[in-house]
Structure 1
Amino acid sequence: MRITGYRSLATVHDWGRPVGDVNGVVAGEVTEVPVLILETDEGLTGVGLGSHPDAHRVFPALEGQDPRAVTSLYDRMLSYVFKSGHGGQVFGAVGALDMALWDLKAKIAGEPLWRTLGAADRFVPGYASGLEYALGDDELVEFYRGWAARGFSGAKVKGGLDVERDVRRLAAVRDVFRANTPRPALMYDVNESWGAHQAVRLARSVEDRVDLTWIEEPVRRWDVAGHRAVASGIRAAVATGENLTGLEHYRALFDADAVGVVQTGSVWGITHFLRVSTLAYGHGLPVSPVGYNANPLAHAAAAVPNHLATEVQDLAFPVGLRVDQEIADGGIVLGDTPGLGIEVDEEAIAAHAASGTWSAPGGPHVRPADAGLRLAPARDRTTKEHFGGGNRQREGIAG
């Protein structure tokens, strides 16, 4: 079997609610989901998810190759782009192609990827995460009640702008999950919105009033000294890594004892997750992949010995994707469909006219100009005032 080509599709995910974080919100409730189809000369195809506009730069490393040599092909892709670097959207293209290669490998073997990777159990422990920054307090509680009903015992709360609001929301979410456990896990994600000069002070202010399991990305992703200061200055663990795009980015954090929970981005692919997990395992650290459409990293998470919990962001799947998994019992129950268990209905995608984007001017993938440069917490203002449109989210706000 040889790799002959690839195709790119674009579908959407309808969240049924605004989604985002302290950096901005997609108010339209619909976001794009890029899909890559890797083709072979025998008609079998592999599916990869995630943005891949630079796939044309990376694909020549795969053309004509046997798709079963996945890890060798991963290194071949990295070598192919080493002069220009493998960060950003180039690494995203590598990740989508790698995901499709693993999907093909398991399909060739006629088994789900979790079995191909050596997992003994189809269940993947998870925690709930709704990208819920724009929800009002009552909406937040109602949203997480649905996750508690599915057996989850912990959740992530987005914050970072107004710590008083964050404390109130964390406490409300804690009370929801007390239906399942006396001490729910609370993950607090500020999405790099703090500066190193304020991170320890603000984090302590929050954890003095609520028991945090971890605080996520308290400072910029590459700030080893800042992460170390937070890790040594608070009780909760520090989690980071979803935006790092190579083992070289993790080593400095590990060597400085600056991270307690190691994260990876789902769109960076299966091999990236496996290698980061091995490096973390050698340092005695747990791993926790961040969520993404159809939870593709769950198969790999089931197979590593140091998996802690996988972020699960929604109970539904993108238009035109049939996914063989169930969200139940506080995690993901993977099915037996060969490969990733993702079937692409191209007719359904073509018939659906909706569009969406993460890259709106209001964020959340656009960093506000004053992020990390706010002197004091903001007044408690409504979400609509935070994200009423354009740059209004930054007018007169500090946090």
Structure 2
Amino acid sequence: MRVTGYRSLLTRHEWGRLTGDANGVMPGHQTDVHVLILETDEGLEGIGVGAHGDIDRVFGAVEGQDPRAVTALYDRMLACVFKTGHAGSAFGAIGAIDMALWDLKAKAAGEPLWRTLGALDRFVPGYASGLDIALDDDALVRLYQQYADRGFSSAKLKGGHDVRHDLRRLLAVREVLSRNSAYPALMLDANESWNRTQAVRFVTELERSVDLAWIEEPVRRWDSGGLAAVRQHIRAGVATGENLTGLEQYRPLLAADAVDIVQIGNVWGITHFLRTAAVAHLYDLPVSPVTYHTNPVAHAAAAIPNHLAFEVQHLTAPVGLAIDQEIMDGGIVLGDEPGIGIRVDEEHINAVRAANPVAKVAGPHVRPARAGLRLVPDLPRPAAAGTAVLPTGKPA
């Protein structure tokens, strides 16, 4: 079997609500979902997900190769961008191809990927994560009631602007989840919006009333000194790593004893996840995957010894995709379909050539100009009459 080509598709996920974080809010209820289909000379096709606009930089490393040699092809892709660098969009393309290669490998074996990777149990414990910063209190409670109905007893909220606002929301979600556990686990994600002093002050205030399991990305992802300082002055664990594009980027964080929960992005692929999890295991650290549509890395999470909890953001599938998994009992139950378990209905998807996401001037993927430079927490500014204000302080 040989890789002969690829197709790129663009579909959307319908959230039914606004999503965002401390850096901004998406303008609508939909987000793009990029799908990669690797073609082979035997007609078998592999599915990967995630933006892969730089695919032509690395596809030559796998073209004509046997897709079952996944780890060797992963290193081959990295080697092809050795001089120009593999971070950013190139790493996204490598991750999407890597997923599709693992999908092909498991399909060729006629078994689900979790089985190919050596997992014994198909259940992957998780936590609820609603990307919820734009929701008012009532909408927040309604959302997490849906997660509670699926058995979740832990949740991560987006916050970081107003400690009183975040405390009120954490307490409300704790109440919702208390029907599944006497001690629900609560986390807060600041999405790199603070400096180290802000982080310690903010979390210390929250911890007067809430026992946080972890604070996520309190400072910049590469700030090993800052993360270590925050970790030394709060009770909560420090979680980070979702935006690190390469195993080597974890080295300074681990050397500085700066992280309690090692996070790994789904969009960076199966091989990167497995290698990072192995390094974290060397330090006796748990790993927690930061999710992406279809939860592809859940198969790998089922097969490692130090998986803590898998982020579950969505309870439905993107348009045109069917996923062989169930969200129940507070986690993900993986199915028996060969491969990653993603089926694609191309008739319901707008097929397009892979392209890098268009640059935005606002939203959760754009760093605000004053992030980490505020003396006091951000509070909503008074709006003109008749203008709604989002929790970000921006007009709706």
TM range (shorter): over 0.9
Q: Which residue of the partner structure matches residue 305 of structure 2?
A: 305
- Greater CA drift, 13-22 or 201-210: 201-210
The answer (yes or no) to whether the contact 1:358–1:364 under 8 Å persists in 2 is no
- Closer, same or farther in 2 for the Cα pair 1:305/1:371, shift >3 Å? same
Q: Which residue of the partner structure matches residue 239 of structure 1?
A: 239
Instruction: Write the deviation string for residues 290-313 of structure 1: whole angstroms up to 9, x where unpaired.
Output: 111011110000000000000000
- Aligned-partner SS, 1:213: strand
Q: Which residue of the partner structure matches residue 259 of structure 2?
A: 259
Q: Which residue of the partner structure matches residue 374 of structure 1?
A: 374
Tell me, in whole angstroms, the C-alpha distance in 1 between the residues paired with 2:64 and 2:295: 29
1:393 paired to 2:394: yes
Opposite residue 184 of structure 2, the aligned amino acid is P
Opposite residue 393 of structure 1, the aligned amino acid is K
- Closer, same or farther in 2 for the Cα pair 1:345/1:325, shift >3 Å? same
Q: Which residue of the partner structure matches residue 15 of structure 1?
A: 15
- Aligned-partner SS, 1:27: coil
The answer (yes or no) to whether the contact 1:164–1:380 under 8 Å persists in 2 is no
Q: Which residue of the partner structure matches residue 202 of structure 1?
A: 202
Q: CA deviation at 1:196?
A: 2.0
Tell me, in whole angstroms, the C-alpha distance in 2 between the residues paired with 1:189 and 1:15: 19
Q: How does 1:45-60 map to 2 (within 5 A)?
A: 45-60=45-60
The answer (yes or no) to whether the contact 1:24–1:387 under 8 Å persists in 2 is no
Q: Which residue of the partner structure matches residue 44 of structure 1?
A: 44
Q: CA deviation at 1:379?
A: 3.2
Q: CA deviation at 1:393?
A: 3.0
Opposite residue 68 of structure 1, the aligned amino acid is R
The answer (yes or no) to whether the contact 2:380–2:394 under 8 Å persists in 1 is no
Tell me, in whole angstroms, the C-alpha distance in 1 between the residues paired with 2:151 and 2:197: 39
The answer (yes or no) to whether the contact 1:162–1:380 under 8 Å persists in 2 is no
Tell me, in whole angstroms, the C-alpha distance in 2 between the residues paired with 1:192 and 1:169: 20
Q: Which residue of the partner structure matches residue 33 of structure 1?
A: 33
Q: Which residue of the partner structure matches residue 110 of structure 2?
A: 110
The answer (yes or no) to whether the contact 1:103–1:339 under 8 Å persists in 2 is yes
- Aligned-partner SS, 1:393: coil
Instruction: Write the deviation string for residues 347-389 of structure 1: whole angstroms up to 9, x where unpaired.
Output: 11149xxxxx89643211011100101101233669942479x
Opposite residue 389 of structure 2, the aligned amino acid is E
1:322 paired to 2:322: yes
- Closer, same or farther in 2 for the Cα pair 1:181/1:215, shift >3 Å? same
Instruction: Write the deviation string for residues 157-210 of structure 1: whole angstroms up to 9, x where unpaired.
Output: 100111110111111111111111111010100000001232111111111221
Q: Which residue of the partner structure matches residue 79 of structure 1?
A: 79
- Closer, same or farther in 2 for the Cα pair 1:94/1:179, shift >3 Å? same
Q: CA deviation at 1:89?
A: 0.3
Tell me, in whole angstroms, the C-alpha distance in 2 between the residues paired with 1:16 and 1:381: 26
Q: CA deviation at 1:45?
A: 0.6
Name the TM-score, length of structure 1 as normaliser: 0.94
Opposite residue 124 of structure 2, the aligned amino acid is V
Instruction: Write the deviation string for residues 228-250 of structure 1: whole angstroms up to 9, x where unpaired.
Output: 00111111100000000111111
Q: CA deviation at 1:327?
A: 0.3
- Aligned-partner SS, 2:60: helix
- Greater CA drift, 194-203 or 154-163: 194-203
Q: CA deviation at 1:251?
A: 1.2
Q: Which residue of the partner structure matches residue 354 of structure 1?
A: none
The answer (yes or no) to whether the contact 2:37–2:47 under 8 Å persists in 1 is yes
- Aligned-partner SS, 1:114: helix
Tell me, in whole angstroms, the C-alpha distance in 2 between the residues paired with 1:117 and 1:180: 31
Q: Which residue of the partner structure matches residue 66 of structure 1?
A: 66
- Aligned-partner SS, 2:349: helix
Opposite residue 105 of structure 2, the aligned amino acid is K
- Aligned-partner SS, 2:170: helix
Tell me, in whole angstroms, the C-alpha distance in 2 between the residues paired with 1:42 and 1:101: 14
Opposite residue 230 of structure 1, the aligned amino acid is V
- Aligned-partner SS, 2:394: helix
Tell me, in whole angstroms, the C-alpha distance in 1 between the residues paired with 2:219 and 2:66: 42
- Percent identity, aligned pairs only, is 66
Q: Which residue of the partner structure matches residue 164 of structure 2?
A: 164
- Aligned-partner SS, 2:389: helix
The answer (yes or no) to whether the contact 2:286–2:307 under 8 Å persists in 1 is yes
Q: CA deviation at 1:257?
A: 1.0
Q: Which runs of 5+ in 2 are unaligned?
A: 352-356
The answer (yes or no) to whether the contact 1:14–1:29 under 8 Å persists in 2 is yes
Tell me, in whole angstroms, the C-alpha distance in 1 between the residues paired with 2:381 and 2:307: 38
Tell me, in whole angstroms, the C-alpha distance in 2 between the residues paired with 1:3 and 1:150: 39
- Aligned-partner SS, 2:271: helix
The answer (yes or no) to whether the contact 1:359–1:365 under 8 Å persists in 2 is no
RMSD: 1.8
